[in-house]
């Protein structure tokens, strides 16, 4: 990816980990409560139940997405250039659903293996900026105010 941006792939690489991006991720508060729902519904069914507020042991969708996007913004403030965040399809699916205001995901909307979303922020102050996101060739914009104050 760095070669594609015209950068030297070995210069200045830094690695950072965050529990927000790995399973169980930003959304799970109590794995013992949430796990039976995942086993019962499967990934897509679980995410749709979560989007509908029907899974115990979870943060709200809004809170989990806001926590992740805040962390992404903080990473972008550590320097210019490309920042690669790797996460799971379940986490990406919830972020997509929240930003696109989708209440129920179908299989066609589910992230493919190694599929990604490009995200960047325009503006000097986080809560006064716009987040731009690119998903499957479509560019969308949303104010961070709207992200943090939407249901």
- Percentage of the chain surpassing pLDDT 90? 64
What is d(CA 131, CA 35) in angstroms, rounded to the nearest whole number? 32
pLDDT at 82: 76
What mean pLDDT is predicted for residues 93-99?
96
C-alpha distances out from residue 69 to 111, 131, 134, Å? 18, 9, 14
Closest CA to 48 of 140, 144, 58, 32: 58
126-142: pLDDT as tens digits:
888 999 999 999 999 99
pLDDT at 10: 66
1-48: pLDDT as tens digits:
667 777 666 666 666 678 888 887 889 999 999 999 999 999 999 999
- Least confident range from 14-18, 72-76, 86-90, 122-126: namely 14-18
Mean pLDDT of the chain: 88
């Amino acid at each position: 990816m760095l070669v594609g941006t015209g950068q030297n792939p070995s210069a200045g690489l830094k690695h950072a980990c965050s529990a927000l991006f790995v399973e169980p991720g930003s959304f799970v508060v109590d794995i013992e409560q949430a796990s039976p729902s995942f086993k019962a519904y499967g990934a897509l069914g679980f995410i749709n139940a979560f989007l509908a507020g029907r899974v115990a042991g979870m943060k709200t969708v809004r809170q989990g997405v806001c926590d992740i996007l805040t962390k992404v913004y903080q990473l972008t403030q550590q320097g210019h250039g490309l920042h690669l965040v790797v996460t799971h399809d379940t986490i990406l699916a919830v972020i997509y659903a929240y930003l696109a205001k989708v209440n129920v995901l179908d299989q066609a909307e589910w992230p493919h293996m190694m599929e990604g979303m490009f995200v960047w922020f325009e503006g000097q102050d986080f809560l006064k900026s716009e987040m731009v996101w690119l998903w499957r060739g479509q560019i969308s914009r949303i104010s961070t105010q709207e992200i943090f104050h939407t249901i």
